Amino acid sequence: MRSERRYVAGLYARLDAERARVKEEYDAALRSKDETPVQRDVEVHARAREMRRLDVADSGLCFGRLDSLSGERRYVGRIGLADEENDYEPLLLDWRAPAARPFYTATGANPENLRLRRQFHSAGRHLVDFTDEVFGRPTGDERGDAALLAAVNAPRGDGMRDIVATIQAEQDEIIRLDHPGVLVIEGGPGTGKTVVALHRVAYLLYTQRERMERHGVLVVGPNPAFLHHIGRVLPSLGETDVVFMTPGDLVPGLHVTAEDEPEAARPKGSLRILDVLAAAIADRQRLPEHPLPITLGGVTMRIDAETAEWAVEEARASGLPHNEARAVFTEIVTYVLTERAIARIGRGWLTRADRDAWEQLRSELLTELAGSDTFAAALDELWPILTPETLLAELYESPERLRAAGADRGLWRADGAAWTVSDVPLLDELAELLGRDTVAEKAAEQAAERERRDEASYAAGVLDLLRLDHEEMDEDVLVRADDLLHAGALAERFVERDTRTLAERAAADRSWTYRHIVVDEAQELSDMDWRVLMRRCPGRSFTVVGDLAQRRSAAGATSWAAMLEPYVPGRWLYRSLSVNYRTPAEIMAVAAGVLAEFAPGLQPPESVRSCGVPPWSRQVTEDELPAAIEEFVREEAEREGTSVVIGPPGTPGAVTPAQTKGLEFDAVLVVEPMRILTRSPRGAAELYVALTRATQRLGVLHQGPLPEALTGLVARTPADAGNRR
């Protein structure tokens, strides 16, 4: 023990030295005047990223040792450390390195050339104890039971923990899988599919960093609570260039307040909505009911239906998005108006043979049109610049527009801008169909150019002052002044640079594309959701995590093949996890009864442990229910760990099953299971989710009869409360 403590202490000393070195390089990069601003920013960001990587390794830096049959000894930990003074001899293997893999995969039957595997148990930086597994002995068994059970039995804290020290062989195989396309990881409750997917991201970033770091990784989860729950895992493994979003965050700046009811979510999630969106745009490309008068060169011209129809046909035929195609529409209308105006103005004295006079008059008329408010208003009426939000909100609010677009009547709502999660893929699709607002972009470019000219003028004035006062300057200032080749170079020094991290820049940019995307609770995503995600990842590199048995969305996946084959035919792999590390056998037996009712062909995952506490139920009256909930909350507050009350919407002090997807708690109280079961067509899946959130204790409160599927619950009375464990 003493020698191991000395070795671990030496690793921390090496870590501290590395931190000091990188911090010194970071400070030097900030002060550097020898590089261009861009080079300096790159160096600063690189050193900052390295500091973040080193800062996560304080707790459990080294968690194991491997001894080979040849006598070689290797230590395994969160990050890799080397001895710079001894030809970079490895002091600590990164858990993702190929040489560290036997730590997770070696068994008594296949020891992978190992003699011993040692598991360290630490508190902060202090090595407390270790356990050994010696291979080749008659009692040798597969690794990890003691460490694994200690981890799964430990009270839950605030957020998911990494499993880097207790990865099991079937998990490790998935984490290190070399597949460039889409990997589907399916598993029932508690199988660790989410944390396996996150460790896979860390592994990919380690093995393919150069390819992946410029674009980063996106992790999509069902709700903010879930993202908070998993948010520490990747940083704890040294990876920070990762963006976390819910499906409602995929359009930056949009404020999503709710989910649609099934009758609205279903048509919005179907690809048939694409025809509705295209029709809604076409409906705004109008022909005038009556000719629109435009004064031009002293004569009154008119935009008639025939002219507008020609312009619409040409604009649509261009293949450009709506807003960008407005330039084609405008060009056709402008051509017709100016040609007709020239003919009227020059009647009797001007012919096409007089090319110079004809073109001069055309130029004057074009200038007049460009400044005409009447012409601009006519363009806005016939081919308006549209934003996705405006178009979709006005579509929802108008039964007439919905009917014209061939939309389902259930999409109508009074407040069109009350955005739901199901609206996000529609808004993203509209952003592609509408394109850029080129008019606004041109105005912004002109404003930026004016600002650059002003900055250059200011810089030129500074240089003039430097030249006038050069006799009063010391030599160092003169040298630096000579380095300023022109006013533009000095102006560049005043430009505000983008100092955001990659993750911050990516999260704010709707058009950002990622190198890899993780999709959790993927069974809930619709066809339209997948269009958004595929657009975000042109390389089609995904880790997809889900459980079809837990699907609650009316527009969600019914099979992985149906969802993925249209996008990645033949490029997706399926892997399953069958061992439940979270839910004890007593609780899983109760949940299995519900699973058998709505998915009789599916087998529940096998639990690796029992908790010794039987799940219980208690029947209460409506008046007794609030006090019974408070009693549960009070009792659990006195215990170590976490707890939650889950019930149907509107239950005081409770969250809904949907809000707990992907989460885990030491103790769970499920309220009114019959109401959860019957409130929606996917109510059985919601009840299954609620029952499988607990890692230690499960209780059920009900007013009416229990659902028949809930077997195995021990009936309790108020008198039993004091005896609860």
Based on the fold, state whether residues 4 and 126 are members of the same structural domain. yes
> How are the residues of the chain apportioned to helix, strand and coil, as percentages rounded to the nearest 5?
50, 15, 35
Confidence of residue 478 (pLDDT cuts 50, 70, 90): very low
Give mean pLDDT, residues 469-489. 50
> In the prediction, which pLDDT does 249 show?
95
Annotated binding-site residue? 442:
no
Q: What is the CATH number of the domain that holds 615?
A: 3.40.50.300
Q: Would the pLDDT of 200 be above 60?
A: yes
Domain that holds residue 12: 1-142
**DSSP-assigned letters across all residues of 208-230:** SHHHHTTT-EEEE-SSHHHHHHH
Lowest mean pLDDT among 146-150, 252-256, 289-293, 661-665: 146-150
pLDDT in tens, 620-650: 999 999 999 999 999 999 998 999 999 999 8
Based on the fold, state whether residues 78 and 109 are members of the same structural domain. yes
Based on the fold, state whether residues 543 and 497 are members of the same structural domain. no
**156 located within any domain:** no
Annotated binding-site residue? 268:
no
Q: State the Cα–Cα distance between residues 404 and 287, nearest whole angstrom.
A: 15
Annotated binding-site residue? 539:
no
Strand-pairing partners, residue 537, are none
Based on the fold, state whether residues 305 and 407 are members of the same structural domain. yes
Confidence of residue 143 (pLDDT cuts 50, 70, 90): very low
Higher per-residue confidence, 22 vs 239 = 22
Annotated binding-site residue? 194:
yes
Q: Would the pLDDT of 283 be above 90?
A: yes
**162 located within any domain:** no
Q: Would the pLDDT of 482 be above 50?
A: no
Based on the fold, state whether residues 369 and 339 are members of the same structural domain. yes
Give mean pLDDT, residues 17-26. 89
**157 located within any domain:** no
Higher per-residue confidence, 694 vs 457 = 694
**349 located within any domain:** yes
pLDDT in tens, 347-401: 878 777 788 888 889 899 999 999 999 999 999 999 999 999 999 999 999 999 9
Higher per-residue confidence, 494 vs 39 = 39
Q: State the Cα–Cα distance between residues 678 and 292, nearest whole angstrom.
A: 58
> In the prediction, which pLDDT does 484 show?
44
Say which amino acid occupies 53. R
Annotated binding-site residue? 388:
no
Answer with the one of 126, 142, 158 that is the final residue of a domain: 142
> In the prediction, which pLDDT does 569 show?
95
Q: How far is CA 712 from the centre of its chain?
A: 39
> In the prediction, which pLDDT does 161 show?
67
Based on the fold, state whether residues 284 and 403 are members of the same structural domain. yes
Give mean pLDDT, residues 500-521. 92
Based on the fold, state whether residues 272 and 322 are members of the same structural domain. yes
**257 located within any domain:** no
The token pair at 692 is 């499988």
**679 located within any domain:** yes
Angle at 335 between CA 334 and CA 336, to 5 degrees: 95
**709 located within any domain:** yes
Question: Which span out of 156-165, 212-221, 445-454 was modeled with the highest average pLDDT?
Answer: 212-221
Based on the fold, state whether residues 112 and 189 are members of the same structural domain. no
Based on the fold, state whether residues 324 and 459 are members of the same structural domain. no
> In the prediction, which pLDDT does 139 show?
43
Annotated binding-site residue? 641:
no
Annotated binding-site residue? 717:
no
Based on the fold, state whether residues 271 and 415 are members of the same structural domain. yes
Based on the fold, state whether residues 274 and 403 are members of the same structural domain. yes
**644 located within any domain:** yes
Three-state secondary-structure class, residue 602: coil
How would you classify the pairing of strands 114-123 and 126-134? antiparallel
Based on the fold, state whether residues 271 and 419 are members of the same structural domain. yes
Count how many domains the chain has.
5
